[in-house]
């Protein structure tokens, strides 16, 4: 049965048809491990902090059902975000299970929760599929990073980046992207730190524009059907995460399949209780974060859906 949406799902405030993405692939499948985090960063996209349960911890049983369903649907990789995934007491067993089937990516602040479980993490090197980590290093200035994340946390994250790389795992970083920055210069400012950590200077850097906190209602232009074809090419539309990924979120004891990793605070983006139900649902670009995708091409993904297309994965 199709999910019920609010009246403004289909039309804008001016009664024009809303822009949409018709999902074509299940390339990446994400798990939100829960909004609890050991840190309390004021800019957090998720509003995460110690003990937060806006989104609850997923358990191994929750994850197994969706991992099995995604594998049957031909998914290419699993990704995990939080909160801090390593704060979730079930996380290492979930990762252990997922690595039996597909490559995995973990987004982490790379501080105590991961550092304290490093011996367990190293064992994942012997799993059938590779494990990659994306570490948050907000600014190439340790003092600025520590202003929000706490004193000494830039150094901890940088040290963990190096340790993970030398233990044989893939690594990348995520950073903030203030409006109007010189992106090439900011990326290059990380090089001395990459040298210090002993990682390649050309590791992937994922940049995030201002997304505002969950529940925020910033005023952004509305996206109509006409905007989607007038201003974007077909390949640009294909690059939207909601075209090729989905994310599991747990709230009030129930798991739901959300349209992408960027929106988990609007029930309209809960597309169903099973992947089979969710993958065919048309995604309307109603949320303010959809405007960031439209205007800046924002994405949590590395490499987008190109790999899946090259492998000739069937449309979902």
Residue 32 or 145 having the CB closest to ligand SF4 = 32
Q: Considering the rule CB under 6 A, would residue 257 count as an interface residue with ligand SF4?
A: no
Determine if 66 is a binding residue for ligand SF4 (CB under 6 A): no
Cα–Cα separations (whole angstroms), residue 140 to 39, 134, 203, 207, 245: 19, 16, 14, 12, 30
241 binds ligand SF4 (CB under 6 A): yes
Rounded to 10°, the helix 153-166/142-149 angle is 110
3-state secondary structure 94-157: HHHHHCCCCCEEEEECCCHHHHCCHHHHHHHHHCCCCEEEEEECCCCCHHHHHHHHCCCHHHHH
Which of 5, 1, 2 has its CA nearest to residue 284? 5
Among 87, 255, 262, 308, binds ligand SF4 (CB under 6 A): 262
Toward ligand SF4, which CB reaches closer, 108 or 270?
270
Q: Which is nearer to ligand SF4, 62 or 265 (CB)?
A: 265
Residue 194 in the binding site for ligand SF4 (CB under 6 A): no
Tokens of 118: 């490093």
Residue with tokens 């798990």: 31
Q: Residue 279, interface with ligand SF4 (CB under 6 A)? A: no
Report if residue 137 touches ligand SF4, rule: CB under 6 A.
no
- Give the nearest distance from C-beta 78 to ligand SF4 in angstroms: 18
The answer to whether residue 285 forms part of the interface with ligand SF4 (CB under 6 A) is yes
Select 246 or 250, whichever has its Cβ closest to ligand SF4: 246
240 is a contact residue toward ligand SF4 (CB under 6 A) = yes
Stretch that binds ligand SF4, among 26-34, 60-68, 279-287, 306-314 (CB under 6 A): 279-287
Does 45 contact ligand SF4 by CB under 6 A? no
The answer to whether 55 and 35 have CB atoms below 8 angstroms apart is yes
- Contact status, residue 209 vs residue 291, Cβ threshold 8 Å: no
Judged by CB under 6 A, the stretch of 37-45, 46-54, 181-189, 235-243 that binds ligand SF4 is 235-243
Size of the site for ligand SF4 (CB under 6 A): 14
Least distance (Å) between residue 286 CB and ligand SF4: 8
Rule CB under 6 A: say whether 248 interacts with ligand SF4: no
> Residue 175 in contact with residue 210, Cβ under 8 Å?
no
Query: Bridge partners of 172?
Result: 134
Choices 72-80, 132-140, 186-194, 256-264 (CB under 6 A): range interacting with ligand SF4: 256-264
260 is a contact residue toward ligand SF4 (CB under 6 A)? yes
Q: Which of 70, 110, 228, 283 binds ligand SF4 (CB under 6 A)?
A: 283
What is the distance between the alpha carbons of residues 162 and 154, in angstroms, rounded to a whole number?
12
Half-sphere CA count of 89, side-chain side, radius 13 A: 1
Shorter beta-carbon distance to ligand SF4: residue 80 or 154: 80
Residue 110 dihedral angles phi and psi, to the nearest 5°:
60, 35
CB 22 within 8 A of CB 71: no
Return the DSSP state at 37. -
Applying the rule CB under 6 A, the residues between 19 and 38 that interact with ligand SF4 are 21
Q: Which residues bind ligand SF4 (CB under 6 A)?
A: 21, 240-242, 259-260, 262-263, 283, 285, 287, 289-290, 293
């Amino acid at each position: 049965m199709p999910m019920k949406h609010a009246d403004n799902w289909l039309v804008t405030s001016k009664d024009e048809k809303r822009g949409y993405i018709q999902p074509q692939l299940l390339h990446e499948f994400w798990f939100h491990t829960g909004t609890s985090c050991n840190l309390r960063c004021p800019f957090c996209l998720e509003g995460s902090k110690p003990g937060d349960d806006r989104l609850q911890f997923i358990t191994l049983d929750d994850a197994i059902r969706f991992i099995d369903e995604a594998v049957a649907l031909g998914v290419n990789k699993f990704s995990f975000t939080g909160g801090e995934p390593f704060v979730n007491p079930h996380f290492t067993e979930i990762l252990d299970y997922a690595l039996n089937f597909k490559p995995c990516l973990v987004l982490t602040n790379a501080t105590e929760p991961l550092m304290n479980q490093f011996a367990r993490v190293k064992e994942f090197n012997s799993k059938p599929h590779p494990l990659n980590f994306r570490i948050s290093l907000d600014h190439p200035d340790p003092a600025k990073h520590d202003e929000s994340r706490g004193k000494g946390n830039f150094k901890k994250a940088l040290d963990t980046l190096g340790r993970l790389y030398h233990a044989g795992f893939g690594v990348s970083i995520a950073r903030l992207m203030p409006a109007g920055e010189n992106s090439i210069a900011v990326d290059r400012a990380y090089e001395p730190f990459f040298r210090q950590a002993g990682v390649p200077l050309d590791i992937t850097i994922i940049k995030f524009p201002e997304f505002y906190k969950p529940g925020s209602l910033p005023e952004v232009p509305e996206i109509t059907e006409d905007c989607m074809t007038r201003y974007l090419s077909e390949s640009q539309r294909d690059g939207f995460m909601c075209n090729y990924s989905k994310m599991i979120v747990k709230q009030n004891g129930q798991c739901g399949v959300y349209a992408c990793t960027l929106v988990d605070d609007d029930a309209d983006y809960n597309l169903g209780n099973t992947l089979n139900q969710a993958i065919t649902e048309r995604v309307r670009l109603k949320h303010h974060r959809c405007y960031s995708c439209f205007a800046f091409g924002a994405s949590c993904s590395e490499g987008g859906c190109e790999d899946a297309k090259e492998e000739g994965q069937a449309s979902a």
